Structure 1
Amino acid sequence: MIDVLVAGGGPAGLAAAVHARLAGLTVVVVEPRTAPVDKACGEGVMPGGVVALRALGVEAVGRELRGIRYVDGARRAEAPFRDRPGLGVRRTTLHHALHERALNLGVHIEPGKVGEVRQTPDSVTAAGITARWLIAADGLHSPTRRRLGLERPGSARGRYGLRRHYRVEPWTDFVEVHWSGHGEAYVTPVADGLVGVAVLSRVRRGYDEHLAGFPALTTALRGAAATEVRGAGPLLQRVRRRVAGRVLLVGDAAGYVDALTGEGIALALATAEAAVRGVVTGRPERYERDWTLLTRRHRLLTRALLAASGRPATARLVVPVACRAPAVFSAAVHALR
């Protein structure tokens, strides 16, 4: 019997596997996809996430991010990160770095899906493997979470995200959030000659239709070669609890509000570390409390911004208010992980 079985080999699952190996535990990761795995992602890592990656011994190559800038036409509000930079990095580059670190530490990565989960008071069995603990990091629409009955109904008006890359030299070292009455566009420099542009909205329509709502951005990208579009959603995922016996949910599987603040990777890394700490100490109930504390500021800030962006009239006020109250905007940015 091994110590930890991880369902899902994305950033959260691999981070959990690395933490477990650094704690001296035996680990197997079950993942159906071949590395490196790509998916719709804003690809900005907040400063706390960069620190967390380095603590894992992971160095991913990308573009340094100096802060966050809100844009609406001629209006701009920006807040530099206070102590250290963030990182714009291709999802595949980040995944490769985490994958290689896990392999180098002796993590076994098995192709396949976890499927049915069976528990006893002392063990959990899935994918034909018996372990003392199962960490479920199988994404936004986690099959493990669903099978264990941990989901709660989501909103009927969910938000969706679409992402594409453009081969153009980055014009900023900030994450730019362009606002409109119907959604946002996020511009993240991720490599030399490459920017990622993600759009988020409650309105379901094609990527180009969304981008047309941001004329200045459309002009900046005109003529640039573009990659295929990847999508994700609905983004809101409500969870009854994150611990069920010997199963702990981490990353997006543990519940998700929205990608609006760009904290997904940082929170995935933080919750993975907290879950492993609960396993190592034999006190998984602590993880539920730790998850609540780790994500509280993110959940409060994201819900406040979602409420403001929920109607065109109020969405148009976000950038003007940020311009008039730069101290408040900076404080909100500094509250991000």
Structure 2
Amino acid sequence: MIDVLVAGGGPAGLAAAVHSALAGLETVVVEPRTAPVDKACGEGVMPSGVAALRALGVEPTGRELLGIRYVDGAARAEAPFRGDSGLGIRRTALHAALHRRALGLGVRIVSGKAGEVRQTTDSVTAAGLTARWLIAADGLHSAVRRGLGLELPSAAHRRYGLRRHYRVEPWTDFVEVHWSGTGEAYVTPVADDLVGVAVLSRVRRGYDEHLADFPALTASLRGTAATGVRGAGPLRQRVRRRVAGRVLLVGDAAGYVDALTGEGIALGLATAGAAVRCLAAGRAEDYERQWSLLTRRHRLLTGALLTASRRPGTARLIVPLAARMPPVFAAAVRALQ
């Protein structure tokens, strides 16, 4: 019997598969898309995420990130990362590196979807395969999570994300977060001639309409658009629990607050590792608490920023306040790195 079946072959699912293979467990990943997989993503990996990739034996190439900068008109606040740097990397490059590593460790990747999940006291079956455990890493709108009745009703305040790349030389080694009254624009250098710009907002409209709210940023994007627009949302996903019998939820499938603090990839890698460690130790029931501990600071800080940004007048105070209190802003950034 397969030891671990992973539903979803994105970064979190592939990280879970690599952790599982390194632990000596027979692992199969079920994924309907062909590698490498692209997705609407800010494409900035926090230093903890870079360290997690290296621990897996993955060394993807990208653009070094030195910290976080908030921008709102003339107001600016920035904080460098303490110690190791982050990484700006195309989602496709990250996926390809994790995919190669998983295959190199003997992980089997099959095309398909998990479909209906059936469990007994000592096994779980999905996609026609039976395993001792199933790790669900099938994303923001997880079909496994929904099928098991683990979703909670959607939040009243919905936010959405859009991303596009521009062929222009990066003007910064920081992730820049530009604020407006209706949302934020995230600038991430991902190569020497390429930047990604992701827009997050509660307002649903076209990408160019969103970008018009950031005239200073638009003036810096003199290069041509290098990719089309990709979208994601609603971002907020509420989950009853992350362990259901022999199924564990990781990454975005385990619940999501918002992309505002840019930790999605790092948290996906961290929760994938925690889930496999719990399985390898024979204590799957410990994962719920481990997930809560790993994501606590992210949930608290992101929730606070979302509350503050909900009204345009309050949102306009975030960057000026951060600029006036550099130690506080630096502490917040370092708490999340």
TM-score, structure 1 length as denominator?
0.99
Equivalent residue for 2:266?
266
Query: C-alpha separation between the residues in 1 aligned to 2:223 and 2:83?
Result: 37
Query: C-alpha separation between the residues in 2 aligned to 1:156 and 1:33?
Result: 31
Aligned residues between the structures: 337
**TM-aligned CA deviation for residue 278 of structure 1:** 1.1
Query: What amino acid is aligned across from residue 253 of structure 2 in structure 1?
Result: A
Aligned residues of 2:167 and 2:223 also touching (Cα < 8 A): no
1:108 matches 2:114: no
Equivalent residue for 1:160?
160
Query: C-alpha separation between the residues in 1 aligned to 2:118 and 2:186?
Result: 41
Correspondence list, 1:101-250, <5 A: 101-250=101-250
Query: C-alpha separation between the residues in 2 aligned to 1:224 and 1:124?
Result: 49
Query: C-alpha separation between the residues in 1 aligned to 2:3 and 2:155?
Result: 37
Cα 1:97–1:223 change in 2 (3 A) is closer
Aligned residues of 2:168 and 2:223 also touching (Cα < 8 A): no
Moved over 2 A (4+): 222-226
Render the CA deviation track for 1:303-336: whole Å, top value 9, x for unaligned: 0100111000000000000010000000000011
Correspondence list, 1:27-66, <5 A: 27-66=27-66
Query: C-alpha separation between the residues in 1 aligned to 2:222 and 2:108?
Result: 45
Query: What amino acid is aligned across from residue 156 of structure 2 in structure 1?
Result: A
Equivalent residue for 2:96?
96
Query: C-alpha separation between the residues in 2 aligned to 1:110 and 1:223?
Result: 39
Render the CA deviation track for 1:77-118: whole Å, top value 9, x for unaligned: 100001110000000000000000000000000000010000
Query: C-alpha separation between the residues in 2 aligned to 1:224 and 1:109?
Result: 36
DSSP 3-state at the match of 1:42: coil
Equivalent residue for 1:318?
318
Could you tell me the percent identity over the aligned residues? 82
Equivalent residue for 1:67?
67
Query: C-alpha separation between the residues in 1 aligned to 2:279 and 2:120?
Result: 16
Equivalent residue for 2:308?
308
Equivalent residue for 2:7?
7
Query: C-alpha separation between the residues in 2 aligned to 1:300 and 1:156?
Result: 18
DSSP 3-state at the match of 1:24: coil
326-335 or 223-232, which deviates more: 223-232
**TM-aligned CA deviation for residue 223 of structure 1:** 4.5
Render the CA deviation track for 1:232-278: whole Å, top value 9, x for unaligned: 00000000000000000000000000000000000000000000011
Equivalent residue for 2:332?
332
Query: C-alpha separation between the residues in 2 aligned to 1:24 and 1:11?
Result: 20
278-287 or 46-55, which deviates more: 278-287
DSSP 3-state at the match of 2:98: helix
**TM-aligned CA deviation for residue 155 of structure 1:** 1.2
Query: C-alpha separation between the residues in 2 aligned to 1:155 and 1:225?
Result: 33
DSSP 3-state at the match of 1:140: coil
Aligned residues of 2:8 and 2:30 also touching (Cα < 8 A): yes
DSSP 3-state at the match of 2:336: coil
Render the CA deviation track for 1:141-161: whole Å, top value 9, x for unaligned: 000000000000111320000
1:257 matches 2:257: yes
**TM-aligned CA deviation for residue 227 of structure 1:** 1.4
Unaligned runs of 5+ in 2: none
Cα 1:223–1:280 change in 2 (3 A) is closer
49-58 or 150-159, which deviates more: 150-159
Query: What amino acid is aligned across from residue 104 of structure 1 in structure 2?
Result: G
Query: What amino acid is aligned across from residue 290 of structure 2 in structure 1?
Result: D
Query: What amino acid is aligned across from residue 67 of structure 1 in structure 2?
Result: G
Query: What amino acid is aligned across from residue 274 of structure 2 in structure 1?
Result: A
Aligned residues of 2:166 and 2:223 also touching (Cα < 8 A): no
